């Protein structure tokens, strides 16, 4: 029986981060994962992360995953794939693994469970038909295998997963006919909902799916409005011709391994192990990190994985007290920043006041801090006091994010030390029009506006992540925040610099009266917006 000083279960963001920290501390480490490829969900995430530079903000998920894998490889971390953990035996600290057709036991001084989460399901009439898929499956098809999941897609669920995957479906060339949610509000970030709305995707809150139509595959979908008890209201049914129904109704922590150890558990929308600030369960030497402890962002998962690893290393004497305290404080400060703001567990359901510091027109959030269907289009217009080219920020929620401040070298944009504070355009006159803020905003919520572009015309610089890429001189339509046509427009500039991290920024010319409305470009030949 082989003995390791640290056994990590799960090769996702939390598990890989834990393995890297444990290996750096000098521990012998092995990582088990049931999949054929390490990296967890990161490897199929093509969107940019929120947070700060230290938390990999403005980096795309698959890039972060590759960085973790490369670091683990350089440290010679032992990663065993296609391996299923069947049992954890305490107090013997023994892990039983099924590797192919062999059953092997490993002795472990410390065990870190970072098993991630699984997609929740939603049963309804016809839900077993081919064409009903989970959002994770859609991402796997699109982002790992280059396969378009369908032509016309209905997205069920408006949390961050549903919003992000719906946008990626558009990027893959699918038509998203609608996003629906049984809740009366949009569950995910407003910036994610807004970038979808600008393309013309309609939202139906307080609606649920009733039926997937079809004999041997999905040919249509029926939705209906729900009452306060989430029961369908007769006579409110709506029909969509679709070939795909994508389900994004939440995630469930994968905590069965923790439960079988006998450690103390609790229920927070799913059974999870109770852990202390270091990630240790009620059993000494047994830790849990990432979504196993409750659903959170990948950034948070990486931090909790690192904390669990340094705690285990410190407990066994691999890290001295002073070094541990320093490392832990840095990680804990980072964790506190991410786990704050209006979407964190502690603040969900609370009203949060939004201030504008006199720069932008104040946007009042609804009660409980969420955006309802008809609110995602009501963002401030251009800054009326500014002259010439200046940034316009349409981010109105306390999300942990500060890349706009980080990339602006001219001091135009300020967030401050608290990354959940709203960004403000503190010095619009300093803007040089570089477009870095536009390209690097993870929520695509920043635009450059110049009401003095030409007599009678303004220019709007917007982020663009669709193919085919438009060219200067192309003519098309300028759309507003709800995806409705504002006016005809011409592209006057296209920038695709490598430093923009695969986000193009395009500049369109519109009549001056459209400066506060135009926020998206639809080309005459484009079919995927």
- pLDDT tens, 110-129? 999 999 999 999 999 999 99
**Banded model confidence at residue 372, pLDDT cuts 50, 70, 90:** very low
Query: Would you state the pLDDT for residue 373?
Result: 47
- Residues 383/428, Cβ–Cβ less than 8 Å: yes
> CB burial class (10 A; 0-12, 13-18, 19+) of residue 114?
buried
Sign of the C-alpha dihedral computed for residues 246, 163, 522 and 408 taken in this order: negative
pLDDT at 337 over 90: no
Mean pLDDT of 227-249: 97
Q: HSE, CB side, 13 Å, CA atoms: give it for residue 283.
A: 24
Q: With 50 as the cut, is the pLDDT of residue 352 above it?
A: no
Say if residue 253's pLDDT is above 60: yes
Q: Which whole-number Å values give the CA distances from 238 to 109, 165, 272, 413, in the listed order?
A: 57, 23, 38, 44
pLDDT at 357: 32
Asked whether the predicted pLDDT for residue 362 surpasses 50, the reply is: no
CA 397 → CA 118, 246, 364, 421, distances in Å? 28, 27, 10, 9
Asked if residues 298 and 61 have their Cβ atoms less than 8 Å apart, the reply is: yes
pLDDT at 340: 73
- Counts for the chain of helices (H) and strands (E), in that order: 10, 30
What's the 3-state SS for 335-376? HHHHCCCCCCCCCCCCCCCCCCCCCCCCCCCCHHHCECHHHC
Mean pLDDT score, 32-50: 92
pLDDT of residue 37: 87
Strands (E) in 377-444, as ranges, are 389-393, 413-414, 424-425
Torsion of CA 210, 212, 213, 217, to 10 degrees: -170
Q: How confident is the model at residue 364 (pLDDT cuts 50, 70, 90)?
A: very low
Residue that wins the pLDDT comparison between 361 and 11: 11
pLDDT beyond 60 at 324 = yes
Residue 232's pLDDT is: 97
- Sorted by where each starts, the structural domains of the chain and their CATH numbers stand as 2-118+251-338 (3.50.50.60), 132-247 (3.50.50.60), 381-523 (no CATH)
Q: Which of 19, 45, 11 is nearest to 442 (CA)?
A: 45
Give the count of alpha carbons within 13 A of 427, CB side only.
Answer: 10
Q: What does the block give as tokens for 52?
A: 């700060």
Least confident of 18-27, 339-348, 402-411, 487-496: 339-348
Would you give the DSSP letter of residue 283? S
Helix (H, G, I), strand (E, B) or coil at 436: helix
Q: Which helix (H) or strand (E) holds 326?
A: helix 321-338
**Distance in angstroms (rounded) separating the CA atoms of residues 112 and 109:** 10
Question: What's the rounded Cα separation, in Å, for the pair 111 and 313?
Answer: 11
Residue 504 has pLDDT above 70, yes or no: yes
Which SS3 state, helix, strand or coil, does residue 83 take? strand
Helix (H) or strand (E) holding 32: strand 29-32
The candidate with the shortest Cα–Cα distance to 280, out of 260, 264, 297, is 264
- Please state the rounded mean pLDDT for residues 460-469: 96
pTM value is: 0.91
Strands 152-156, 244-247: pairing is: parallel
Q: Is the pLDDT of residue 109 over 50?
A: yes
In this structure, are residues 197 and 371 in contact, taking their beta carbons and an 8 Å threshold?
Answer: no
Q: pLDDT value at position 91?
A: 79
The confidence score (pLDDT) of residue 348 equals 53
Q: Give the per-residue pLDDT at 377.
A: 52
pLDDT the model gives residue 480: 94
User: Residue 329's pLDDT band (boundaries 50, 70, 90)?
Assistant: very high
The per-residue pLDDT for 359 is 25
* Three-state SS at 500: helix
Where b means 16+ CB within 10 Å and e means fewer, 427-445 reads: bbeebebbbbbbbbbbbbb
State the chain's mean pLDDT as an integer.
Answer: 89
What gap in Å lies between CA 509 and CA 454, rounded to an integer?
Answer: 9
Q: Do 65 and 39 touch, CB atoms closer than 8 A?
A: yes
pLDDT-derived band at 36 (thresholds 50, 70, 90) equals: confident
The confidence band for 51, taking pLDDT boundaries of 50, 70 and 90, is confident
Phi-psi region of 261 (alpha: psi -120 to 50; beta: other; left: phi over 0): alpha
Helix axes 13-24 and 61-74, enclosed angle (nearest 10):
30
pLDDT value for 120: 93
Length, in residues, of the chain: 529
Cβ–Cβ under 8 Å, residues 480 and 461: no
Token pair, residue 306, equals 């690192």
DSSP code of residue 182: S
With b meaning 16 or more CB within 10 Å and e meaning fewer, what string describes 16-47?
A: bbbbbbbbbbebbbbbbbeeeebbbbbbbbbb
Task: Return the pLDDT at 346.
Answer: 56
At 343 the pLDDT is 67
pLDDT band at 338, cuts 50/70/90?
A: confident
* CB-CB contact of 384 with 404 (8 Å): no
pLDDT digits over 414-428, tens only?
A: 998 888 888 988 888
High-pLDDT (> 90) share of the chain, %: 78
- pLDDT above 50 (res 99): yes
Report residue 144's pLDDT band, with 50, 70 and 90 as the boundaries.
very high
| Reported confidence tier of residue 347, pLDDT bands at 50, 70, 90 | low
Report residue 365's pLDDT band, with 50, 70 and 90 as the boundaries.
Answer: very low
Mean pLDDT of 227-255: 97
């Amino acid at each position: 029986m082989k003995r390791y000083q640290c056994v990590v279960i799960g090769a996702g963001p939390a598990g890989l981060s834990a393995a890297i920290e444990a290996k750096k501390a000098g521990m012998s480490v092995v990582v088990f994962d049931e999949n054929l490829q390490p990296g967890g969900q990161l490897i199929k995430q093509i969107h940019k992360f929120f947070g700060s530079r230290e938390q990999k903000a403005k980096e795309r998920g698959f890039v972060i995953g590759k960085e973790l894998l490369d670091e683990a490889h350089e440290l010679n971390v032992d990663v065993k794939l296609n391996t299923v953990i069947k049992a954890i035996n305490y107090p013997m600290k023994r892990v039983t693994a099924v590797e192919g057709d062999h059953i092997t036991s490993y002795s472990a001084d410390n065990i870190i469970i970072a098993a991630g989460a699984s997609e929740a399901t939603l049963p309804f009439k016809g839900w077993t038909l081919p064409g009903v898929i989970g959002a994770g499956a859609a991402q796997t098809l699109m982002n790992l295998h280059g396969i378009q999941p369908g032509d016309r897609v209905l997205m069920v669920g408006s949390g961050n997963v549903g919003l992000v995957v719906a946008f990626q479906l558009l990027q893959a060339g699918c038509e998203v006919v609608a996003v629906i949610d049984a809740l009366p509000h949009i569950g995910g970030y407003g910036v994610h909902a807004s970038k979808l709305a600008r393309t013309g995707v309609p939202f139906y809150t307080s609606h649920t799916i009733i039926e997937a139509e079809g004999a041997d595959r999905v040919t249509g979908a029926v939705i209906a409005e729900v009452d306060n008890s989430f029961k369908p209201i007769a006579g409110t049914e709506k029909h969509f011709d679709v070939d795909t129904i994508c389900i994004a109704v939440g995630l469930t922590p994968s905590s069965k391994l923790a439960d079988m150890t006998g450690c103390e558990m609790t229920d927070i929308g799913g059974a999870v192990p109770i852990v202390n600030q270091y990630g240790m369960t009620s059993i000494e030497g047994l830790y849990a990190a990432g979504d196993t402890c409750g659903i959170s962002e990948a950034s948070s998962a990486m931090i909790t994985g690192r904390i669990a690893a340094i705690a285990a290393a410190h407990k066994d004497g691999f890290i001295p007290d002073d070094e541990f305290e320093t490392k832990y404080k840095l990680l804990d400060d980072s964790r506190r920043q991410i786990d704050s703001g209006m979407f964190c567990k502690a603040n969900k359901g609370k009203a949060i006041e939004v201030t504008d510091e006199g720069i932008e027109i104040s946007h009042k959030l609804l009660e409980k801090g969420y955006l309802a269907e008809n609110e995602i289009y009501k963002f401030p217009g251009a800054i009326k006091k500014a002259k010439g080219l200046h940034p316009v920020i349409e981010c109105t929620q306390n999300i942990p994010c500060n890349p706009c401040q980080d990339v602006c070298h001219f001091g135009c944009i300020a967030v401050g030390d608290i990354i959940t504070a709203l960004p403000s355009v503190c010095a619009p006159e300093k803007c040089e029009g570089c477009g870095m803020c536009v390209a690097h905003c993870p929520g695509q919520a920043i635009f450059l506006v110049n009401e003095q572009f030409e007599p009678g015309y303004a220019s709007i610089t917007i982020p663009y992540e669709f193919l085919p890429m438009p060219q200067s001189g192309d003519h098309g339509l300028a759309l507003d925040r709800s995806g409705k046509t504002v006016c005809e427009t011409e592209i006057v500039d296209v920038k695709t610099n490598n430093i923009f991290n695969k986000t193009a920024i395009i500049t369109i010319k519109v009549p001056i009266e459209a400066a506060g409305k135009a926020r998206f470009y639809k080309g005459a030949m484009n079919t995927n917006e």
